[in-house]
Every structure is written in structure tokens, then in C-alpha cells.
Amino acid sequence: MNKVMLAKNTYLLGKMDDREVPFHRLILAKGTTYNAYLLKTEKPTVIDTVDLEFGREFVEYLSELIDPKEIQYIVINHTEPDHSGGLAALAGRAPNATIVCTEIAVNELKEMYKLHSRSFLVVKDGDTLDIGGKTLKFKETPYLHTEETMITYCIEDKILFPCDIFSTHVATNAFFADEADFDIIEDFIGYYNAIIHPHRRYVRTVINALQELDVQMIAPSHGYILREDIQKYIDLYATMSADTINDKKVTIVYTTIRNSTKKVADNLKKIFEENNIQTSVFNADKSDKATILESIKEADAVFIGSSTKYADMIGNLEDVLKDLIKMDLEGKIGAAFGSYGWSGEAIEVIQDYLNQTNLDVQSTSHVIKTTGMTHVEFPVRVRFTPKDEQLKKIEHSATYVADLLLSAI
Ligand SMILES: Cc1cc2nc3c(=O)[nH]c(=O)nc-3n(C[C@H](O)[C@H](O)[C@H](O)COP(=O)(O)O)c2cc1C
């Protein structure tokens, strides 16, 4: 365990893990660190903890700096157990501490660490918390990289605690990037690519939020603390999260009885067009098949949808799908969608057809396995006419594909 002071009364409590750590189906060849922070103010506050495995060690080390009973707040920016895991050991030893997190995080933490009778303080975007001598400001960062995440900024110290964002996976005794005996950029970019890039749309929200903050130091939860040339790291995130490609095309083909599936198609189109992706939509029963197939040949992503009638697809769609199986669609993204009433067999039949092509067919399972995102669903299944939550669902799926199309990585 390490003890380093970042500002007056602000300590790094880090655990170095120099094993080849298995993480997100990767092996971290250089290991990693779990960085937590203690702000020893009038209302002592811990920001994040360490991996579950090192929880007791963490509390022992923390106890050398402060009696845990004095701790008033434990801020949890992100519930993944490599950061919140120390709560299991800390909560019992710090009975007077209120846990500070987003609303979504409350239930996750209660369930994960059996904290049902614990006191929680839910913070929202822009809320501040006076910890007696220092003030914390919170910014919700949903989907970066999970739904419940937030970042914390200490106004007096001008230190940003962004948890996973701006991290590096390097087991290091040089706590600050400027003290490393090599340039950390490659590791910084490698971490971004592995963990953050699939969520890059939300990186932009953070970059915008940072413009309103005077950040002099970035203290993430893995790897190096950044205190020199901070803007270089922020600019790198801005560049890496920007759209790099702008000439992509999507083709959407559907059939419908009473236009609910058309509404799904139109909403998909709206999202793609908001992302400057040229989008063509065809009702397979009202369009020339050769024109549809030509458009699919030109497209980078293909969405095929139908409503379900007596457990099957509607109209001419099957003819189009039979032709797709014979085409070379290598390198294109494919997705199924449709409106349905109770079972939605048509959508699954379309998915089966797409799986027989050489399209890169999207599925919920693949999205979860590759990004951890649970709010993106494929195929896109909408009960009856899409509204409210269902429109959000369509937006999430289209946005996900737009992000795949607009990024070179
Ligand atoms: C004649 C008929 C048969 C239907 N059969 C099914 C079915 O087998 N399974 C199902 O999930 N929904 C079924 N539905 C419900 C439709 O799929 C649902 O109303 C859907 O929203 C229609 O979308 P559309 O307007 O795009 O055609 C049926 C609807 C009708 C009118």
C-alpha cells in the first residue's frame, strides 16, 4: 500500500497489483493499481476504494492515517468491484460514514455488499458536498463506462477524481505520470481503446463538463496521477472520442400491417441522420427489389424489420432475405427489428436469416460481451406502436451502430 499526498490533507491510498491481472477478458500484462483517496478534512471523506480482494489490507492501511470511525463520507464513483470492493471491509469499520453515489448505484451497492440498512446520500449532476474545509462537486457520467458512474471534483484542490476515465493499467511505484521513467502515452491510449472507446459518445460529455472546471490534477482510479500538461491528456481523449469517418450509409428495409414497424424504421433513420449518416428506408412491399438490393450493396449497415403476423414475417420481406444470403456482405453491419404484439417470431426469423449471411450481425449478447453495455438491445424488439421507453431503446441501438460506423478503431 502506498501513501502519497496530492494536496494538503488529500492522500492517495493505492494498492499495486503487479500480477498479470485478468480484467474484462484481457490480461493486464503490466498489472494495475487501484487508487483510492482520503480527504482528511473536518468531515473526513474517502473517494473510491480498492479491489474486493485487497479490502482488508486497504482498511488496515487507511487506519494508519485515520480512525475509520471518524470517516463521514465514502464517495463511490463507480460500482465495479475493482473500485467499490473495499466497501465490504470498510463499511463495517466506518459505521458513521454515509455512502455518496448516484441513484442507480445505491441498489447495486446495497445488493453487492449487503448494505441494506446503510445510510446513502444520492447526488445528482452539479450537486456539491461540503466536507468541512473542502467542497466536492459531482458530475453524473452515465454509460462511461457503466450506467451508474459519476466523477468527483474537489473545488479547493482543483483535483478531478474521474475513477476509470483517464486511467492507465500499469502497476507503478511512480505515482505521477511525470515521475515515470518512460512515456506513459502508449499505456494511456491502450487503456482508452480497451475500456473507454466503445463509450466514446459519453466521453464528449465529460470533455464539455471539464471546460467549466479548473482542473490542475487528474487522480484516476488506475495507474498514474496526471499533474503536468493535463490538457494534453484531455485533448487526447477529445481526439480519440471524435468521429473519424463521415461518409457512411445505412439501408433500412421493412414490412408492416399498420405502420408500427414503419415507425421503428423512421426512428432509426432519424437517429442515423442526426449522426450525419445517409439513410435509405424501403417498404419491401412498395419498392422494387432490385433497387433495395442495390442500396444494400452500397450500405455499411443494414437493418431488416417486419411486424409479426401469425408467427411469421409480413409480405415480400422473405424474398429480400433469401437474396441477401447469396450476396457478399462482408464488412457490413446487420441488425433485425420489428414491432410485435406478444411473441414477435418474425424478428427472430429475420435474425436467423441474417445469421446465414456474412454480415456482422448485432446481438445483445455480443454487445454485453464486448462492451459491458446492457442498455443496447439487438434485435430491436418493440411491442406495438413505439413510444416512451421503446423510443429510447430504438435510439440506443441506432446510436450504438452509428458509433461503430463513425469510428476507425
Ligand atoms: C392478424 C394479426 C396477427 C398477429 N399475429 C401476431 C403474432 O403471431 N405474434 C405477435 O407477437 N404479434 C402478432 N400480431 C400483433 C402485431 O405484430 C402487432 O400489432 C404489431 O404492432 C403490428 O405492427 P405493424 O403495424 O408494423 O404491422 C398480430 C396482429 C394481427 C393484426
Identity of the residue numbered 27: I
CATH number, domain 2-241: 3.60.15.10
363-379 residue pLDDT tens: 999 999 988 899 999 99
**Alpha-carbon gap, residue 12 to 288, rounded angstroms:** 65
CATH class, domain 249-405, is: alpha beta
Q: What ligand 1 atom has the least distance to the C-alpha of 263?
A: 26
Beta bridge partners of 337: 305, 380
Beta bridge partners of 11: 5, 38
pTM beyond cutoff 0.90: no
Identity of the residue numbered 173: N
**Alpha-carbon gap, residue 276 to 368, rounded angstroms:** 26
Q: Three-state SS for 101?
A: strand
pLDDT greater at residue 246 or residue 281: 281
Q: What ligand 1 atom has the least distance to the C-alpha of 311?
A: 8
Among 27-31, 51-55, 152-156, where is mean pLDDT lowest? Answer: 27-31
Here the cell at position 249 is: 450509409
Q: Please, what's the b/e burial string for 208-241 (b: 16 or more CB within 10 A of its CB; e: otherwise)?
A: ebbeeeebebbbbbbbbbbbeebeebbeebbebb
Nearest residue (by CA) to ligand 1, atom 29, is: 309
Q: Pocket residues for ligand 1 (CB within 6 Å)?
A: 256-261, 307-311, 339-344, 384
- From 252, 257, 316, the mutation candidate for ligand 1 (largest count of ligand atoms within 8 A of CB) is 257
Q: Is the pLDDT of residue 46 over 60?
A: yes
| Distance (Å) from CA 262 to ligand 1 centroid | 13
Mean of pLDDT over the chain: 95
96-106 residue pLDDT tens: 999 999 999 99
Position 168 scores a pLDDT of 94
Identity of the residue numbered 331: G
| Burial of 158 from C-beta contacts in 10 A (0-12 / 13-18 / 19+) | middle
Q: What ligand 1 atom has the least distance to the C-alpha of 308?
A: 17
Position 30 scores a pLDDT of 85
| Distance (Å) from CA 398 to ligand 1 centroid | 23
Position 409 scores a pLDDT of 64
| Domain boundaries of the chain, sorted by first residue | 2-241, 249-405
Q: Is the pLDDT of residue 27 over 90?
A: no
Here the cell at position 154 is: 474537489
Do 400 and 367 meet the contact criterion of CB atoms below 8 Å apart?
yes
Identity of the residue numbered 235: D
Q: What ligand 1 atom has the least distance to the C-alpha of 254?
A: 26
User: Which residues, at least 6 apart from 303, have a Cβ–Cβ distance to it below 8 Å?
Assistant: 250, 251, 252, 253, 265, 268, 334, 335, 336, 337, 380
| Distance (Å) from CA 307 to ligand 1 centroid | 6
166-210 residue pLDDT tens: 999 988 888 999 999 999 999 999 999 989 999 999 999 899 999
Q: Is the pLDDT of residue 24 over 70?
A: no
| Distance (Å) from CA 172 to ligand 1 centroid | 59
- From 255, 262, 267, 307, the mutation candidate for ligand 1 (largest count of ligand atoms within 8 A of CB) is 307
| Burial of 145 from C-beta contacts in 10 A (0-12 / 13-18 / 19+) | buried
Do 97 and 74 meet the contact criterion of CB atoms below 8 Å apart?
yes
Its ipTM equals: 0.99
